[in-house]
A = this chain, B = another copy of it.
Amino acid sequence: MTARPALARRALAEFLGTGLLVTVVVGSGIAAQRLSADVGLQLLENSTATVFGLAVLILLLGPVSGAHFNPVVSVADAILGRRTRTGLPGRDLAVYIVAQVAGGIGGAVLANLMFQIPTAISITERVTAGTLLGEVVATAGLVLLITGLTRAGQTLPVIAAAVGAYIGAAYWFTSSTSFANPAVTIGRVFTDTFAGIAHTSVLPFLAAQILGAAIGVAAAVVLFTPSAPVGSHPAAAVSKETLA
């Protein structure tokens, strides 16, 4: 067992990673809205940039802080790793969440600055029964994915690419365009542009995300109990090689 990097360094990584993730989401949303007329095309440009940006940030900062960039991922990590004492301790968890939320806000402001748009509170209401269900599904899937890939022993480059790809799909298959992240949701309040979200929509979105995360954790526990033998099926056998 090796020591973790100092908490301050990990907090910086979470601040930077969450921040730049929001900068990518908000900035590419502004660029898309300025340059394209078709709303679907705008979303395709926005989601493509996010796939690339998110995967790269996880790959880069994973070795420093684990690259959570998301309070529900940090909480899931703390809960699932409690029994084996490999999860985030309570104090670290609090620091992670503060760094993530601060990063999310900072990232939105940075995007506004680059595009010379005054920072303002978004007026885009996003809450409907459908979008809340979308957030539940999107967050459950995200937490299941991260937990499952980690338990199966996939490498960091594979996990990074998979999480980016997942969000690229979830932009489109959920009705909420998949926020799935409380820190990013709060950060996106601070831009009145394509990717913004009204502050009145935040609490319902956060509640849906927390519910989704709980479902994701439960699904991961059922499907990927650490002691579960891996199947002898050819495809499963292949995957074991990657665990070796």
Does B24 lie within 8 Å of A173, measured CB to CB? yes
Is A5 an interface residue when CB atoms closer than 8 A count as contact?
Answer: yes
Q: Which segment of A32-40, A97-105, A180-188, A196-204 sits at the interface?
A: A32-40
Bound form: Cα–Cα A44–B16 in Å = 26
Bound form: Cα–Cα A242–B230 in Å = 21
Main secondary structure, interface of A, reads: helix
Does B230 lie within 8 Å of A63, measured CB to CB? yes
The listed residue (B12, B45, B234) touching A40 by CB distance below 8 A is B45
The listed residue (B9, B169, B224) touching A223 by CB distance below 8 A is B9
A residues 48-67 near B (Cβ < 8 Å) are 48-53, 55-56, 59-67
Is A209 an interface residue when CB atoms closer than 8 A count as contact?
Answer: no
| Residues on the B chain within 8 Å of A174, using CB | 27, 114
Given contacts A24-B169, A37-B40, 8 further A-B pairs with CB under 8 A are A2-B229, A23-B173, A27-B174, A36-B41, A49-B173, A55-B162, A66-B235, A156-B242
The listed residue (B4, B64, B169, B242) touching A232 by CB distance below 8 A is B4
Is A31 an interface residue when CB atoms closer than 8 A count as contact?
Answer: yes
CB of A104 to closest CB in B, whole Å: 15
Among A86, A230, A235, max chain B CB count under 10 A is at: A235
For the complex formed by this chain, how many copies does it contain in all?
4
Does B2 lie within 8 Å of A63, measured CB to CB? no
Does A52 lie within 8 Å of B165, measured CB to CB? yes
| Residues on the B chain within 8 Å of A158, using CB | 59, 157
Does B52 lie within 8 Å of A166, measured CB to CB? yes
Q: Please list 12 pairs of residues, one from A and one from B, whose beta carbons are closer than 8 Å in the complex, sorted by A's number.
A: A3-B231, A9-B222, A26-B173, A32-B40, A36-B38, A49-B168, A51-B52, A60-B162, A64-B223, A150-B238, A153-B241, A157-B158
The listed residue (B10, B28, B50, B63) touching A239 by CB distance below 8 A is B63
Bound form: Cα–Cα A133–B113 in Å = 8
Does A157 lie within 8 Å of B4, measured CB to CB? no
The listed residue (B114, B224, B229, B231) touching A137 by CB distance below 8 A is B114
- Given A12-B223, A38-B36, is A241 in contact with B23 using a C-beta cutoff of 8 Å? no
The listed residue (B10, B61, B128, B172) touching A116 by CB distance below 8 A is B128
Is A144 an interface residue when CB atoms closer than 8 A count as contact?
Answer: yes
The listed residue (B3, B37, B38) touching A229 by CB distance below 8 A is B3
Does A28 lie within 8 Å of B169, measured CB to CB? yes
